[in-house]
Structure 1
Amino acid sequence: MLYVDIPTNPEIRALFEARADACVSIYLPTTPETQNVALSRISFGNLTRTALEQLDAADFDKRRRAALEEKLLALDEDDDFWRLQANSLAVLATPDSLRTYRLATEVTKTVEVSDRFYLKPLMRAMAFPQHAFVLALSENDVRLIEVFADHPATVISLPDLPDSAADATGRASVNNPGTGSGHGNAQGQKSLLLKYLRKVDAALRPVMAGRETPLILAATEPLGPIFRSVNSYTGLLAEGISASPDSMSESALASGARSVLDGYYAAQIEAATALFHERIGSHRAITDLGAVARAATFGAVDLLLVDINEVVPGTVDETDGTVVLATKPGAANYGVIDELTGRTILAGGKVLAVCRADMPDGAAVAAILRSPV
């Protein structure tokens, strides 16, 4: 299975606010196949050396450098850590702390050194993780399946999940509830199904609590609509798999889920792009980097779209948002677009990190503003 630990919204805000004399951000592809993880460890070692060389070039304090190197080397030598990986890894380190996040999405091999972390790849992983759960639901069976981008789907064992509607209700069948209940047959059946589906929802809560992972429902009528009426998980997608899951393998359900996810993510991007073009006429949509920086600094950005692969080294003034570009990355600067992402989130705005082909007008950044400029 994939070992994924994407940061929560409070964590990402704390990471954007973090400042230190040296913040090292390392991103690299990894593999869940333990026997092939050696190449990932070699890559991590090379990226660690690159980060330390940048600090040496900036005459960084030798004692602080040693503390940082000790943490990175300890991670490199931790066999247990490397044994449990996903498709990529983020390592965010300072001389005083080290955090890791294993991601289901793929990332470009990157190392950034600055006084703040480089977090745009994490934003992409949070927005479009290609990671979901499928609830395969019928009267005869119920399964919770975890789906990944390019790894076999896995059935999640839940101790309190009923085996079937009959198991949940203590009836041989929910289709013939009997006449002694005072309800019509159809109403009695619905009452039994509600009892079944409330137990399903309750069994899901411990594993879904605190998550934002999409949940996709695979069910037919009447179970699908009834479950949606009792569902307590806010991540349940409106679109589901409209087929009986009884004869569908985990692989087939995962394939259907990926199709639903693709449509869900595409709809988010399409809606954001359409809103951007709609707001141009009212002077509430901009792509100029300097203008976006000023808007983000003053908390005026409602939605920011950024090119996931674009890195613009430089600095952004803390008070007026003036951008000063650098000729190359180094310990004295940071990613300007990443900084605008952080300022937008800290001011309560939303961010979508997407591919350049999905950016409005092919820009590196595009901002929808709260008020005209």
Structure 2
Amino acid sequence: MYEHITQSDLSELLKLQGQPYLSLYMPMARSFPDQEQNPVRYRNLLRKLRDQVENGSANADPALLEPFDALLHEDELWRSPRDGLAVIGGSDVFKVFSLHQPVDELVRVDQQPCLKPLMRISQSGGAYQVLCVTRDAVRLFQGDQNVLEEVELHPDVPRNLEQALGEELTAKDQSGNPHGFSRAADRTSGSARHEAGGGGKQDEIDIDRERYFRAIDKAIVEHHARSGLPLILAALPRNQAAYRAVSHHPTLLDEGIAQDPGLMDAAGLREEAATIITRRHNASLDSALERYGVAQGQKLASNDIGEIGEAVFAGRVSLLLVESGRDIPGTVDMQSGAVQLDGEPDGEMATGADVLDQLIPRAVQNGAEVVMLPQGLVPGSSGAAAVFRF
């Protein structure tokens, strides 16, 4: 019931529009005795959410609060350590997300869920999987910056080389690398191949490795790739490229942990994986800002929220940069994309309505990439910036 946010989850939530949705975010304490205050904080936020519903925000039906109320009696939710909680509810959805990063307190009733905090966490690369492969063991872990836990493998995933190949496995007493995986695979000369045991039996052992990797990859893709999380391969250096050469895993990263995972505990794996994920996230932010800078020189960029709104709805935006934690109170015309900020002379007050929450789903639907940036990195002061296609 309590899920980690994935790209697949976000894709489904971004489709939700046109009816009342309730959003609640809160930070949580992980340790006793502060942990005892988590349900108290939730109850206080729920009271604020109820006030918005009863005051007529987005014409929400009070019945939408019932599953939110029920969470107060979920002991597992309040006993489990986590850094934050996100609850999204509507007539057609109720999702509870366990967050590995803290979030600010927020309750909102609007015509679409508030998703900016979830997008920030998802894009920060916090959650990932680690696939550990040796001849004698296959293990899968899932975690984030704070914790890494082993995942129970589906029965179809081979646990080791012998199980994967059975009677087709080359006999151990044949010449070649005694571990079954040729060191000659990284050599190119004929003499090197001869030194490793010849081109015949050693080739058979190398083929064993390829079959083994194919069997692992096929089963992992079929049974453990649906989360959409980045996958980091932990394997000896000579096996990193060999595995990728046969892999069809959609989120397998180019960079892996090039060590023997059999000699690493969960803490060591988490430390290495977190470094890879953080480096990957920072590179993506740098790339997005560089794209904006280039487009600005070509007069194909803007940080004017009014211009961005109309461009989003016209399908002109290829990249939308959004300041994390920023709200822009106002409404967006769902036909033209015209932005009416709260407080303007002719504008209606839109209690709880946020311009960015309204623009992000349409931008994604029209093929734009949306990138959440830390405060101070978005060009200009509006809280958003965009690169235009034309």
Number of aligned residue pairs: give it: 365
Structure 2 spans left out of the alignment, 5+ residues: 183-193
Match of 2:191 in 1: none
Shift of 1:10: 7.1
Match of 1:119 in 2: 115
Greater CA drift, 47-56 or 260-269: 47-56
Q: Is the 8 A contact 1:285 1:366 kept in 2?
A: yes
- Decide whether aligned partners of structure 1 residues 362 and 188 sit closer, same or farther in structure 2, where only a CA change above 3 A counts: farther
Match of 1:321 in 2: 337
Match of 2:314 in 1: 298
1:197-346 → structure 2 map (5 Å cutoff): 197-326=213-342, 332-346=351-365
Match of 1:30 in 2: 28
Share of identical aligned residues, percent? Answer: 27
Match of 1:93 in 2: 89
| Counterpart Cα distance in 1 of 2:9 and 2:65 | 28
SS at match of 2:237: coil
| Counterpart Cα distance in 2 of 1:98 and 1:117 | 11
Shift of 1:51: 1.8
Match of 1:64 in 2: 61
| Counterpart Cα distance in 2 of 1:3 and 1:112 | 20
2:150 is aligned, of 155, 174, 188, to 155
SS at match of 1:366: strand
Shift of 1:209: 3.2
Match of 1:4 in 2: 3
Q: How far does the alpha carbon of each residue in 1:207-266 deviate from its partner, in whole angstroms, 9 at most, with x for none? A: 423221011112223211111012121101111122222322111011000000001111
Structure 1 spans left out of the alignment, 5+ residues: none
| Counterpart Cα distance in 1 of 2:162 and 2:53 | 65
Q: Is the 8 A contact 2:126 2:277 kept in 1?
A: yes
Match of 2:50 in 1: 52
| Counterpart Cα distance in 2 of 1:70 and 1:6 | 23
| Counterpart Cα distance in 1 of 2:245 and 2:308 | 42
SS at match of 1:345: helix
2:140 is aligned, of 131, 144, 147, to 144
Shift of 1:125: 2.6
- Decide whether aligned partners of structure 1 residues 315 and 90 sit closer, same or farther in structure 2, where only a CA change above 3 A counts: same
SS at match of 2:367: coil
Return the TM-score normalized by structure 1.
0.86
2:127 is aligned, of 111, 125, 131, to 131
| Counterpart Cα distance in 2 of 1:12 and 1:70 | 25
SS at match of 1:260: helix
Shift of 1:324: 1.6
Q: Is the 8 A contact 1:216 1:237 kept in 2?
A: yes
Greater CA drift, 194-203 or 234-243: 194-203
Q: How far does the alpha carbon of each residue in 1:15-60 deviate from its partner, in whole angstroms, 9 at most, with x for none? A: 443222x432111123677986542222221111112223344488
Q: Which amino acid aligns with 2:341?
A: L
| Counterpart Cα distance in 1 of 2:201 and 2:101 | 49
Greater CA drift, 128-137 or 320-329: 320-329
Q: Is the 8 A contact 1:55 1:331 kept in 2?
A: no
SS at match of 1:222: helix
1:175 is aligned, of 174, 177, 180, to 177
Q: Which amino acid aligns with 1:258?
A: A
Considering only aligned residues, what root-mean-square deviation do their CA atoms show, in Å? 3.2
Q: How far does the alpha carbon of each residue in 1:269-327 deviate from its partner, in whole angstroms, 9 at most, with x for none? A: 11111111011122221111111111112121111110111011111112222222225
1:40 is aligned, of 38, 41, 53, to 38
1:352 is aligned, of 371, 381, 387, to 371
| Counterpart Cα distance in 2 of 1:15 and 1:198 | 35
Q: Is the 8 A contact 1:307 1:359 kept in 2?
A: yes
Return the TM-score normalized by structure 2.
0.82
Q: How far does the alpha carbon of each residue in 1:45-77 deviate from its partner, in whole angstroms, 9 at most, with x for none? A: 11111122233444887x933x23433222222
Q: Which amino acid aligns with 1:295?
A: A
SS at match of 2:256: coil
Greater CA drift, 190-199 or 81-90: 81-90
1:106 to 2:108 alignment? no
- Decide whether aligned partners of structure 1 residues 261 and 326 sit closer, same or farther in structure 2, where only a CA change above 3 A counts: same
Match of 1:76 in 2: 72
Q: Is the 8 A contact 2:128 2:231 kept in 1?
A: yes
- Decide whether aligned partners of structure 1 residues 95 and 190 sit closer, same or farther in structure 2, where only a CA change above 3 A counts: closer
Shift of 1:131: 1.0
- Decide whether aligned partners of structure 1 residues 96 and 146 sit closer, same or farther in structure 2, where only a CA change above 3 A counts: closer
